[in-house]
């Protein structure tokens, strides 16, 4: 009974907003409307507090010291690993590797698993809607190994052409690296289908969770992906921290990424033996403070409830798409059936940059440009889009501000 009550309880945006101090500020004399959440999300007070508390009370290097501060810092750092494990439902805590973010996670896999397993003539498949960090590391690897990079095409709605995906697979295909949700279009890709198909051909799959981990329930075991990457700052956590999840048996076999302290078991000048997972991939002193505070972000999201957040964001996205497409000259880019809270659009005869500059003067923060997805923009033959992306703290009134701003800006520009 009570669970039903909680389900229908309206999402209390006002209460949520009070948790995010930055939302109180003014930009150019106007209330900030922050719609650049796909670039980075704002931080709740609990995350800021966790950061400050770490530096105030127990800053120490981890895993080595035997003093109390080192023990506390180590416990806090490792607690984040356990929370991440729960957050994505990994099978083992040592499958959680801390990185600087999604970019480092993908580079790590390309440089270790990739270098170890890709040979001349092998093939790697990505999609036409990848951001540059899921393109360039594979290009570098392909160049080094004389391997081939193949691309799943994108249709006019911004969805992957799945029939083409199966066509691309050959006996030489070794890796598929695919974005879970597109940063520029919002499209949620059918990663489960992709993984199932790939696995039938013994192909390893990396799923880029940069945009999905904040919006969708992630269950890496159910998804059965081989690698999954996350950036903390997009999940309301600090910048400079991320996670690489990898299946234990794969991680065990992979060579280390960087050499240094922490990742070793024994070092002599003749030979070094490597530490066990996950430390094998965590050379040097990690970003302790931000990793510790990342836990506060994940706990916060879990407490608010991903399902509640998703419903709220979906309503906003739907409303924004309806309202924006009602403006003369506006064309939505990315109209996939399954989407995260991203609304990308262009206006006939208006450069996205001009729109961005004018909206900023109304206190509205959107992203304009190619969103680090130049190949995708080329696909749609546009220089870029104007992108509004929503988070748990955004409101319908803010969407109204955006719609008003866009209409006014068009009036000024035309």
Partner 1 sequence: MQAVQTIQETEDEIVDEFSLFDNWEDKYEYIIDLGKKLEPLDAKFKIDENKIKGCQSQVWLIADEKEGRIYFKADSDAVIVRGLVSMLIRVLSGHTAQEILDARLDFIDKIGMKNHLAQTRSNGLLSMVKQMKHYALAYNVKLNG
Per CB under 8 A, residues contacting partner 1 are 28, 351-354, 357-358, 361, 368-369, 383-384, 408, 412-413
User: Taking the CB of residue 337, how many other CB atoms lie within 10 A of it?
Assistant: 8
- We find the least distance from the C-beta atom of residue 344 to partner 1, in angstroms, to be 15
Beta strands in 153-249 (DSSP E): 173-179, 204-208, 227-231, 242-246
User: Do residues 230 and 102 make contact, with C-beta atoms less than 8 angstroms apart?
Assistant: yes
Q: Strand 364-365 relative to strand 33-34: parallel, antiparallel, unpaired? A: parallel
Contacts of 41 (CB under 8 A, 6+ apart): 214, 233, 234, 235, 236, 391
CA angle 387, 110, 189 (to 5 degrees): 40
- We find the least distance from the C-beta atom of residue 375 to partner 1, in angstroms, to be 17
User: Do residues 42 and 372 make contact, with C-beta atoms less than 8 angstroms apart?
Assistant: no
Q: Given the complex with partner 1, which of 150 and 367 has the nearer CB atom?
A: 367
Return d(Cα 82, Cα 148) in angstroms, integer. 37
DSSP 8-state code for residue 129? T
- We find the least distance from the C-beta atom of residue 388 to partner 1, in angstroms, to be 17
Q: Given the complex with partner 1, which of 200 and 378 has the nearer CB atom?
A: 378
Where do we find the tokens 């896999």? 109
Return d(Cα 96, Cα 105) in angstroms, integer. 11
Q: Given the complex with partner 1, which of 240 and 384 has the nearer CB atom?
A: 384
- We find the least distance from the C-beta atom of residue 71 to partner 1, in angstroms, to be 41
User: Do residues 42 and 236 make contact, with C-beta atoms less than 8 angstroms apart?
Assistant: yes
Q: Given the complex with partner 1, which of 79 and 357 has the nearer CB atom?
A: 357
Q: Please give the distance of CA 348 from its chain centroid, rounded to a whole number.
A: 30
DSSP 8-state code for residue 36? B
Q: Given the complex with partner 1, which of 338 and 404 has the nearer CB atom?
A: 404
- We find the least distance from the C-beta atom of residue 353 to partner 1, in angstroms, to be 5
Q: Given the complex with partner 1, which of 172 and 361 has the nearer CB atom?
A: 361
Residue of 355, 345, 288 lying closest to 322 (CA atoms): 345
Q: Given the complex with partner 1, which of 30 and 63 has the nearer CB atom?
A: 30
Does residue 373 carry a catalytic annotation?
Answer: no
Q: Is the peptide bond before 67 cis (omega within 30 degrees of 0)?
A: no
- We find the least distance from the C-beta atom of residue 370 to partner 1, in angstroms, to be 8
Backbone angles phi, psi at 261, to 5 degrees: -70, 170
Return d(Cα 229, Cα 133) in angstroms, integer. 11
So which residues are the catalytic ones? 372
């Amino acid at each position: 009974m009570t669970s039903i009550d909680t389900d229908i309880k309206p999402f209390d945006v006002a209460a949520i907003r009070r948790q995010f101090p930055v939302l109180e500020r003014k930009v150019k004399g106007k209330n900030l409307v922050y719609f650049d959440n796909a670039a980075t999300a704002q931080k709740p007070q609990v995350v800021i507090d966790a950061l400050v508390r770490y530096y105030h009370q127990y800053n120490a290097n981890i895993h080595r010291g035997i003093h109390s501060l080192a023990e506390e810092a180590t416990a806090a750092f490792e607690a984040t690993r356990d929370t991440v494990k729960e957050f994505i439902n990994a099978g083992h805590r040592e499958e959680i590797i801390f990185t600087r973010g999604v970019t480092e996670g993908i580079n790590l896999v390309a440089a270790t698993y990739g270098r170890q397993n890709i040979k001349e003539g092998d093939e790697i498949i990505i999609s036409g809607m990848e951001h540059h960090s899921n393109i360039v590391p594979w290009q570098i690897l392909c160049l080094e190994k004389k391997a081939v990079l193949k691309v799943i095409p994108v249709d006019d709605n911004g969805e992957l052409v799945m029939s083409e995906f199966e066509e691309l697979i050959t006996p030489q295909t070794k890796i598929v690296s695919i974005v879970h949700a597109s940063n520029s279009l919002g499209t949620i890709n059918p990663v489960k289908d992709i993984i199932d198909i790939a696995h039938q051909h013994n192909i390893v799959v990396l799923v880029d969770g940069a945009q999905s981990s904040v919006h969708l329930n992630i269950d890496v075991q159910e998804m059965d992906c081989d690698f999954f990457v996350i950036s903390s700052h997009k999940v309301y956590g600090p910048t400079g921290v991320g996670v690489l999840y990898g299946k234990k048996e794969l991680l065990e076999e992979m060579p280390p990424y960087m050499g240094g302290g922490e990742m070793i078991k024994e070092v002599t000048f003749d030979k070094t033996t490597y530490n066990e997972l996950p430390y094998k991939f965590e050379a040097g002193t990690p970003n302790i403070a931000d990793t510790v505070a990342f836990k506060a972000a994940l706990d916060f999201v879990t407490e608010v409830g991903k399902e509640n957040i998703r419903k709220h964001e979906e309503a906003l996205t739907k409303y924004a798409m309806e309202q924006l497409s009602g403006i003369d000259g506006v064309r939505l880019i990315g109209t996939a059936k399954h989407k995260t809270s991203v609304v990308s659009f262009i206006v006939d005869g208006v450069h996205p940059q001009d729109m961005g500059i004018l909206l900023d003067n109304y206190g509205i923060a959107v992203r304009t440009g190619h969103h680090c997805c130049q190949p995708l923009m080329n696909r749609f033959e546009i220089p870029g889009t104007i992108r509004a992306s929503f988070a748990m703290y955004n409101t319908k009134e803010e969407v109204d501000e955006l719609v008003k701003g866009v209409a006014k800006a068009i009036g000024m520009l035309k």
